[in-house]
Structure 1
Amino acid sequence: MIRFLLKVVLLAGVFYGVAYLLDGIEVIPNPDGPLGEPGTYLWIALIFAVINAVVGPILRLLSLPFVLLTLGLFLLVVNAALLGITAALTDRLQVDGFGAAVLGGLLLAVGGWIADQLTEKR
């Protein structure tokens, strides 16, 4: 449980970086929230982590033929879909267009991989 929460905190930092770097992805911070503006990033990261853990494996399984056909590049589309689902569930995240979703999904996949490596048990 602690590793999951640590991963959510790391993903919140990744979301901050993605929103800073990409023009098509915007996080609307809530300064009046319980944790202030950082709480917004934590909330979005928590939603994304849950979506990735629940819906992600189902989408990856259903898209397996396309993933094999494209040698794994279709996983970028799956990550973009997960980011789009997250944006649909919260009004604090806006994704403008498919290209921004694919680039954001790529950056989140790399950031999630790094978070996994940092929180992995050794």
Structure 2
Amino acid sequence: MRQSAKPVVCKASAHLKAAFMGSHQSYGNRRLVTAMADEGFHMGRYKVRILMRQAALKPVWKRKFNHTTDSKHDLPIAANVLNRQFNPTAPNLAYVSDITYIRTAAGWLYLATVLNLYARTVVG
């Protein structure tokens, strides 16, 4: 049976842990290879992986998208007055709207539309 090696505390592993903590525990072995090279420690990806395993360093990924919908709330819910009747008999009886988020290089944009159901035209 193979015995696990004791973690070796060396100068490189101390710098590796400092670089990992400096990244808010988000760097994996590939980014740590670059960070270690910037500090003057040139080592391969698999060596960094072994040192990370010995020091029990596991990256934590943060969600890139915040979900804003909360369906489990105690607030009152509006009545469904349209009741899936999408073909009104006269103009200006029913309007529907929707909102969506569009990711751009400048950040998030919000697109909201209002439709007149009778004419099927965008009114706002």
Q: Considering the TM-score relative to the shorter chain, is it more than 0.5? A: no
Higher helix share: 1
What TM-score results when the alignment is normalised by the length of structure 2? 0.29
Higher strand share: 2
What TM-score results when the alignment is normalised by the length of structure 1? 0.29
Q: Which has the larger radius of gyration?
A: 2
By relative contact order (CA 8 Å, sep 6+), the higher-ranking structure is 1
